[in-house]
Amino acid sequence: MKRSDRDAAYVEFVESRQTRLRRAAYAICGDWHRAEDLLQTALTKLYVAWPRLAREGGEDAYVRRILVSTHLDNVKRASYRREVVGADADLVHAAQTGRVDDRDALITALQRLPEMQRRVVVLRHVLDLSVEQTAADLGISAGTVKSHHSRGVARLQELLTDQTVKEDRR
Amino acid sequence: MIDLQERFDQAWAGEPAPMDARQQLAVAHRGLRRRRMVVATGVLGVVAVLGGSLAAAGGVPGLDREPPAGSAYAAHSKPGEVEVKLAQTPQELEQISSDANAGYTSDGRVIVRPGWKVTQQIDDTWVSEGSDRSIALEIAKDTTGEKEWYYLEWGPDGRSVNQSWPRENPGLTLREWAPDKNGHRERP
């Protein structure tokens, strides 16, 4: 593949996928700037692997996996973990003061889910992946995806309802 | 029951504008260059260790090492046809890596820093995807005779990949060393 062909195919890929991928990154990490960084890292790694992926296919799955694993790497860093704890505190504080609007509430609530539940919910609801695709991306069984999904969604409902009730009482 | 899908749709309301895909492409190009540097550095490390072991064990029979004393070019290399010039202006020097003493300019000329001269040159023998031309160089410092090796590639957008290696290398000629990186192959 000529470099110009590779670049053109890559640009087309980025243009057609970036919005959805960035939303997924945002839902996973809870911050647009960090989401932008995550996406940039994933797309750069995608470009490096592009010749192989163009031959074998699987560009979408590859970039999704990188997105998730890069976030996981970040989470493992202590400083990042502290910020996530801060985000939890924000939700509690916001729920108490009623200053969180709907759009922030969902993303903030997502950050309170255990890592795997959050990833499953994001892959299923933001990227519209099937149970099987989600299982393949995360390297877990379809049954485990279903169980993480139902627990994650239930917990989100709980968190959001709780917040809605608190806001209604004000 | 909260409609999760609806809540997700609301969550994108404050979404920043999408980035320019061409800008991302430029970032990806830089990423690829970094990756190649890392791979080549790793290969050099392995080669250095293996070569050191071989040298310690008495070397490999038949393997060429240093160019003949007093010769400007190694036995394997012919003087190159590509003209390698000394950098003439600071603007030219800015176009090569700050830690390199040789490199491609953005318009595809090969330059070396003042104070260095070319002692071996292999033109356009290896290619990798996306590059138009390549050159392997051994350059020597005028004052001390210290030598460095470079493998340079140039692409149509001014992209260059370069690696250097002090001449105190064990067990390889420039021709053996240069393609041993990043899957380069002989130009057909």
Task: Write down the pLDDT at residue B63.
Answer: 41
User: How many angstroms away from the CA of A104 is the closest CA of chain B?
Assistant: 7
Task: Write down the pLDDT at residue A103.
Answer: 63
Domain count, chain A: 2
> For testing the chain A interface, which of B5, B15, B23, B24 should be mutated: the one with the most A CBs within 10 Å?
B24
Same domain assignment for residues A148 and A74 = no
Task: Write down the pLDDT at residue B62.
Answer: 40
Same domain assignment for residues A168 and A130 = yes
Q: Which chain A residues touch B8 with a CB distance below 8 Å?
A: 27, 106, 125-126
- For residue A27, the one-letter residue type is A
User: How many angstroms away from the CA of B90 is the closest CA of chain A?
Assistant: 30
User: How many angstroms away from the CA of A81 is the closest CA of chain B?
Assistant: 23
Backbone CA torsion sign across A149, A152, A155, A156: negative
Q: What gap in Å lies between CA A86 and CA A96, rounded to an integer?
A: 15
Same domain assignment for residues A90 and A168 = yes
The model's confidence at residue A12, banded by pLDDT at 50, 70 and 90, is: very high
* DSSP letter (8 states) at residue A170: -
Q: Which chain A residues touch B16 with a CB distance below 8 Å?
A: 32, 36
Contact with chain A for residue B6, Cβ under 8 A? no
Closest residue on chain B to A5 (Cα): B130
**Using the beta-carbon criterion (under 8 Å), do B31 and A48 form an inter-chain contact?**
yes
User: How many angstroms away from the CA of B14 is the closest CA of chain A?
Assistant: 8
Same domain assignment for residues A55 and A114 = no
User: How many angstroms away from the CA of A76 is the closest CA of chain B?
Assistant: 23
Is pTM beyond 0.90? Reply is no
> For testing the chain B interface, which of A106, A110, A161 should be mutated: the one with the most B CBs within 10 Å?
A106
Select from A6, A157, A161 the Cβ nearest to the Cβ of B130: A6
CATH number (domain holding residue A12): 1.10.1740
- Compute the CA torsion angle B105, B107, B110, B114 (nearest 10 deg): -50
A32, A61, A83 — which closes off a domain?
Answer: A83
Same domain assignment for residues A88 and A159 = yes
Could you tell me which residues are beta bridge partners of residue B120? B138
Q: Which chain B residues touch A156 with a CB distance below 8 Å?
A: 2, 4
ipTM of the complex as predicted = 0.73
Select from A15, A36, A160 the Cβ nearest to the Cβ of B21: A15
Q: Residue holding tokens 């992926």?
A: A53
Task: Write down the pLDDT at residue B93.
Answer: 75
Same domain assignment for residues A120 and A89 = yes
A28, A60, A83 — which closes off a domain?
Answer: A83
**Using the beta-carbon criterion (under 8 Å), do A153 and B130 form an inter-chain contact?**
no
SS3 B161: strand
Q: Which chain B residues touch A161 with a CB distance below 8 Å?
A: 2
* DSSP letter (8 states) at residue A93: H
Q: Which two tokens stand for residue B123?
A: 């033109």
Residues 128-157 of chain B with CB under 8 A from chain A are 129-131, 155-156
Task: Write down the pLDDT at residue B103.
Answer: 82
> What are the distances in angstroms from CA A89 to CA A72, A83, A165?
21, 10, 19
Q: How far is CA B77 from the centre of its chain?
A: 19
Within A77-141, where are the H helices?
A: 78-97, 102-111, 115-125, 131-138
Task: Write down the pLDDT at residue A21.
Answer: 95
Q: Residue holding tokens 């911050």?
A: A31
Write out pLDDT tens, residues A111-159. Answer: 899 989 999 999 999 999 999 999 998 888 999 999 999 999 999 999 8
A83, A110, A128 — which closes off a domain?
Answer: A83
**Using the beta-carbon criterion (under 8 Å), do A44 and B31 form an inter-chain contact?**
yes
Same domain assignment for residues A91 and A41 = no
Same domain assignment for residues A78 and A91 = no
Query: The domain containing residue A113 runs over which residues?
Result: 84-170
Select from B10, B16, B24 the Cβ nearest to the Cβ of A32: B16
* Residue A64 or B180, more confident: A64
Least Cα distance to B181 among B166, B167, B161 occurs for B161
Closest residue on chain A to B2 (Cα): A157
Same domain assignment for residues A131 and A74 = no
pLDDT in tens, chain B (188 residues): 778 888 888 888 878 888 888 888 988 888 888 777 777 777 777 777 777 776 666 554 444 444 334 333 333 334 456 788 888 777 777 777 666 788 877 777 888 888 888 988 888 766 666 666 778 888 888 888 888 888 777 765 555 555 555 555 546 677 776 665 444 545 54
CA atoms within 13 A on the CB side of A30: 24
Task: Write down the pLDDT at residue B167.
Answer: 53
Same domain assignment for residues A77 and A156 = no
Same domain assignment for residues A167 and A88 = yes
**Using the beta-carbon criterion (under 8 Å), do B11 and A15 form an inter-chain contact?**
no
Least Cα distance to B158 among B114, B113, B99, B94 occurs for B94
Least Cα distance to B13 among A104, A16, A42, A53 occurs for A104
Task: Write down the pLDDT at residue B156.
Answer: 58
CATH number (domain holding residue A96): 1.10.10.10
Same domain assignment for residues A74 and A107 = no
At residue A57, what are phi and psi to the nearest 5 degrees?
A: 85, 175
CB within 8 Å of A26: residues ≥ 6 apart: A32, A35, A107, B11, B15
